[in-house]
Amino acid sequence: MKFTTTNYLGTKQILKFPDHYVAMTVTVTDDGVAEDSDGNKIVPMGTIVGGNGVLQNPGNPVANVRAGEAKATLVTACTAKNSNISYTAHAAGVAGNAIKIAYLDPAAANVALAVTVAGTVITINLATDESKAITTTAGDIIAAILDNAPAVALVDAVPSGKLDTGVVNAMTATALAGGADGTAGTAEGVLMNDIDVTYGPALGAMIIHGFIDINKMPDKPSAADIAALRQIVFIG
């Protein structure tokens, strides 16, 4: 099936192999679509969409599976100036709410800073001097997390203010919060063209089989998207 749709992002093709694909007609909803600077509501090509069973029920509208999605976050509350860190779950969704951060005071002298990860709990074993005083700064923790692959896979960490030079204090394991899954259900296809929903839901083409250029997608597919879209191959 071929479709002619105005492409507001130019003429770049989302398909790696334009002659090898299967697509179906879908109604793209305008729910949650924000206006751009020109007052238009455009759902861009390459958007991964779902419609709660649109493959079995073609009359169901589809929406961006990222709509309503949010990453869990945590801002620490250490007492010293410039000692706080803003943590954000690396992946969006409710799963991020299970991630916890703990700062452990070893209560011993001359202990080195170390990061350990057990499941979704990241423990920062704070460094101390000869008097057992904590010497670890927010910047030290950020650098240590960046150097720890399991921790980086769970969270991104940046200073909560302009500086990260303050010394932190011990903190019991504290969970990130605010993570939310998308509201459009499981991924079922990829939009082939930009769809203008400025004046309400509009028809478009949803690719259900083919080879997609990841570099031309507005958002890269998640592991869950790839698992759900078994007939689509994403090529970087």
Where is the domain boundary, 175, 192, 223?
A: 175
> Same domain for 162 and 216?
no
Q: Token pair for residue 41?
A: 């509501």
Which residue's entry shows tokens 């990453």? 71
H or E segment to which residue 234 belongs: strand 232-235
> Same domain for 37 and 89?
no
Q: What pLDDT is attached to residue 184?
A: 67
pLDDT digits (tens, 9 = 90+) for 146-185: 999 999 999 999 999 999 999 999 999 999 999 998 776 7
Q: What CATH number should be reported for the domain holding residue 33?
A: 2.40.300
Where is the domain boundary, 160, 175, 190?
A: 175
> Same domain for 167 and 190?
no
Where is the domain boundary, 151, 175, 199?
A: 175
Top pLDDT among 18 and 1 is at 18
**Residue 146: helix, strand or coil by DSSP?**
helix
- Residue 90 maps to a domain: yes
Q: What pLDDT is attached to residue 7?
A: 45
**Residue 108: helix, strand or coil by DSSP?**
coil
Q: What pLDDT is attached to residue 84?
A: 98
- Residue 168 maps to a domain: yes
Q: What pLDDT is attached to residue 222?
A: 85
Decide if pLDDT at 5 tops 50.
no
Decide if pLDDT at 6 tops 80.
no
**Residue 5: helix, strand or coil by DSSP?**
coil
> Same domain for 81 and 170?
yes
Beta bridge partners of 73: 88, 177
> Same domain for 161 and 95?
yes
> Same domain for 148 and 213?
no
> Same domain for 110 and 154?
yes
> Same domain for 120 and 103?
yes
> Same domain for 123 and 37?
no
Query: pTM of the full predicted structure?
Result: 0.71
**Residue 152: helix, strand or coil by DSSP?**
helix
> Same domain for 43 and 129?
no
> Same domain for 81 and 151?
yes
CA pair distance 80, 92, nearest whole angstrom: 30
Average pLDDT, the chain: 91
- Residue 104 maps to a domain: yes
Query: 162, 158, 180: which is closest to 76 by C-alpha?
Result: 158
Q: Which domain holds residue 107?
A: 73-175
H or E segment to which residue 42 belongs: strand 42-43
Instruction: State how many domains the chain has.
Output: 2
> Same domain for 165 and 86?
yes
- Residue 42 maps to a domain: yes
- Residue 4 maps to a domain: no
